[in-house]
Structure 1
Amino acid sequence: MNPGDHPDFFYIYKKVFAGKYIEKQKIVAIASPAMPPKSTSLIVVIPCFREPDILKTLDSLAECNHPNGKVEVIVLINHPEDALPQEVVFNKKTYEDVRYWHKVNHPFFTIPDIEPIPLPKKWAGAGLARKKGMDEAARRFNTLNKPDGLIVSLDADTLVDKNYFEEIEKHFQNNSTHIGATLAFRHQTEGVEPKLKEGITLYEKYLHYYRGALAYTGYPYALFTIGSAFVVTAGAYVKRGGMNRRKAGEDFYFLQNLTRQGTIGEIKTTCVYPSARVSDRVPFGTGPILQKWLDGTENLNLTYNFEAFARLKTLFDRKEGLYKISELNYNRLLKSLPEPVSEFLIHDGFYSQLSGLNKNCSTLLIFQKRFFELFNAFKILKFLNYSHEKFYRKEDLYKQNERLQNISSNNYMP
């Protein structure tokens, strides 16, 4: 049944939460059936391009304990419109395999029927594929008028714990104000050759170090941004403007921007297990980093000097003093800050940006919140790269992590 064939569709469409987003994005149903069961509370979205292990992921999901609500799993098989013939054939076979798997296994979840989708050459990639799937999930929740429906992002090479659905459901039942959550992750290492295993171990250590160091600075939105390990409510998804179309890093940009809307929790009671494979599909991310490690062009033993984070903390500790600050007092402040920080602020033209922020903040409380929308994760990364070009060099990962552990009492380290 098409959405428009449903007797209550037009009445529902006018009143539901995602109507404007769907109209603006020109979203149409791509799955059959077009409407999910009324008790659907959770939709998993899995982008899938040239994926040999998608059935292992489905097997892993099928072995999970059943949550209270109904579950759908959207497998968004896709390829660029100029894909090689063998890639198109591979995807068609994957589609047939998924349909057959669904037919013979009778899992507790349903897999809506979506044929392989060609994506425009300009935008084809992880971001647009994830967006297509998440848009369909939002549209489906819209037909049920469920802004609190959960859209779960997963990858086609990822396994999950048996309590995966239960713990996701429980988290949002216990934290009704949360608009999203990240999940614990550990890359698969069984059967992985030693050099690659060493690389993924170092990379995971780096991710935990970086997040912990961010938290130490006082940055309030330090979170993991792994595409296969996050959840967002349908209402927050459309309010944020949906997933972006970036070919890589779409998860990082999406989650960092989502922090402006509300609280993103952390689910530590279950775990997802992404593949530790190398990849040439995207310009950056886990796969390319591991490939560079194997090639010898990336040394994962080195990381950002902890001193850079400590110096940045001195600015964040004084952020209240930046509220309605005059240019004269700002220049005085610059002289009192560590040189790497003051030099970066000058290089970045930060006072002009700060003045714009101050004009739009009527109270200190509003300023304190919006300050980190200005000095966000993107600007922090910009500072780290600038300061390591001018003042620091990268240092041993384990030594920097030890420095953080010794000085910080936060709970972010493994």
Structure 2
Amino acid sequence: MFADSYLNKNNNEPIIQSDAEPGTAIIVVIPCFREPEIKQTLESLKACHLPSCKVEVIVLINHSEIATPSVKEYNNATHAELTCWIENNEIEGLKFYAPAPIELKKKWAGAGLARKKGMDEAVRRFNKLDTPDGIVVSLDADTLVEQNYLVEIENYFQQNAKHVGATLAFEHQKEGLKPKQKEGILLYEKYLSYYKQSLDFTGYPYSLFTIGSAFAVRALAYVKRGGMNRRQAGEDFYFLQNLVQMGRVGEINTTRVYPSARLSDRVPFGTGPILQKWMNGEEDLTLSYNFQAFVDLKALFDVKNSLFKIDETAFENTLQNLPATVAEFIRIDGFWRELENLNKNCSALQTFQTRFYQTFNAFKILKYLNFAHETYFRKANLEEQLLLLNTAVLTQSNIK
């Protein structure tokens, strides 16, 4: 079967004892750690229009092996509650599972390992069905979905047979939020959009939203990529940025998910911690990366083709014609060595063009932006940077 080697390597024992029904082609995975709103998420899924294939939902209740008794009691109560809910909400074509809480090794316990355990279980089930094109969907236990959620996921992957994955449109829940919290989440959404659009402006081909509750991946691509990582935060970002190196990760904009905008200190970064810092006055969401940093980066990406088979002298001459921010970062980062290795392994320009962005990837871009704002720029007003971005995009469009 397609995932035998991966499953054996990762010592994946079955979490759910029964096999998936033939015809199952979508499995939604929901990590669940001390989640008070999980039933609302399940009710949201239950209300969905059903696709032509069969669908499973796996709620992966989890905690660390050193979790406090109160956390374990909470999770056990959640398990009992969901077991009862599932028994009373049987639907033809939509199967819910909420196995007993699993204990995670204390070294790795967190969002990444929990999501990995659930997604690995989905792959194990697809493997037994020999369904490498099965869709593993990542959702969170505080997230609601639109009624066409499952149908549109099925439609997208049927219409884009070569795509390895997709992100889904999202909008945070805002009903009932206090004014400052609502202001914070609106600013955060605006920042996410600004960042993605700015990457698009530079010419970077793999810009995407990396939200844990808003992506899907084919089972075979998940296996080839090496599965989900065990990071305690940011696991979605690392997974998706590596996935785009394997194939096309598209966007599903015909449906939407609604993550919670709750405050949280469970993980070191992400929506919850950022909002918490905003509420505490420790984070100013009205500020963002200076747009000039993206303009400078675009200057590099515009001349990337000239770096194909370039020698070191010509490379240094190229740097002299680039903005100081980018040129200094490249020197400090040792990019010449990476470029030299890249050129050794690329016989054609087309191959170089693709692999260039595997080298100067989203991780390096983030590293560059942080360097630029430590050395050359200060973070600037988000609204003003959006205006600069929109003006630059309009100008670029008119030139074309």
TM-score by length of 2: 0.97
**1:111 match: secondary structure:** strand
- Read off the aligned partner of 1:158 and give its amino acid letter: T
How many Å separate the matches in 2 of 1:30 and 1:129?
A: 12
How many Å separate the matches in 2 of 1:105 and 1:45?
A: 18
Shift of 1:184: 0.3
Pairs within 5 Å for 1:111-190? 111-190=96-175
Task: Tell me if the contact between 2:86 and 2:97 (Cα under 8 Å) persists in the aligned partners.
Answer: no
Q: Is the counterpart of residue 300 in structure 1 residue 285 in structure 2?
A: yes
Shift of 1:26: 1.3
- Read off the aligned partner of 1:249 and give its amino acid letter: G
State percent identity of aligned pairs: 59
**1:99 aligned to 68, 83, 99, which one?**
83
Task: Tell me if the contact between 1:228 and 1:272 (Cα under 8 Å) persists in the aligned partners.
Answer: yes
**2:251 match: secondary structure:** strand
Number of residues paired by the alignment? 395
Shift of 1:113: 4.7
**Moved beyond 4 Å, runs of 4+:** none
Pairs within 5 Å for 1:62-73? 62-73=46-57
- Read off the aligned partner of 2:175 and give its amino acid letter: E
How many Å separate the matches in 2 of 1:128 and 1:272?
A: 22
Pairs within 5 Å for 1:236-251? 236-251=221-236
Task: Tell me if the contact between 2:28 and 2:138 (Cα under 8 Å) persists in the aligned partners.
Answer: yes
Task: Tell me if the contact between 1:195 and 1:294 (Cα under 8 Å) persists in the aligned partners.
Answer: yes
List per-residue Cα deviations over 1:155-208 (Å, max 9, x = no partner): 000000000001000001111111100000000000011111000000000000
The match for 2:266 is: 281
**2:72 aligned to 68, 71, 88, which one?**
88
The match for 1:219 is: 204
- Read off the aligned partner of 2:26 and give its amino acid letter: L
**1:407 match: secondary structure:** helix
Shift of 1:19: 1.0
How many Å separate the matches in 2 of 1:113 and 1:285?
A: 26
Provide structure 1 residue ranges, at least 5 long, that are not aligned to the other structure: 1-15
List per-residue Cα deviations over 1:335-361 (Å, max 9, x = no partner): 111111101111101111111111111
TM-score by length of 1: 0.94
Shift of 1:403: 1.1
How many Å separate the matches in 2 of 1:228 and 1:355?
A: 38
**2:137 match: secondary structure:** strand
- Read off the aligned partner of 1:202 and give its amino acid letter: L
List per-residue Cα deviations over 1:276-296 (Å, max 9, x = no partner): 001111011111100100010
How many Å separate the matches in 2 of 1:294 and 1:269?
A: 33
List per-residue Cα deviations over 1:39-66 (Å, max 9, x = no partner): 1010000000000000000000000101
**2:150 match: secondary structure:** helix
Shift of 1:402: 1.3
The match for 1:6 is: none
How many Å separate the matches in 2 of 1:31 and 1:283?
A: 31
Task: Tell me if the contact between 1:32 and 1:112 (Cα under 8 Å) persists in the aligned partners.
Answer: no
List per-residue Cα deviations over 1:204-261 (Å, max 9, x = no partner): 0000000000010000000000000000000100010000000000000000000011
**2:39 aligned to 52, 55, 63, which one?**
55
How many Å separate the matches in 1 of 2:179 and 2:104?
A: 37
- Read off the aligned partner of 1:171 and give its amino acid letter: Y
**1:269 match: secondary structure:** strand
How many Å separate the matches in 2 of 1:261 and 1:128?
A: 22
Q: Is the counterpart of residue 29 in structure 1 residue 14 in structure 2?
A: yes
Shift of 1:114: 1.4
- Read off the aligned partner of 1:48 and give its amino acid letter: C
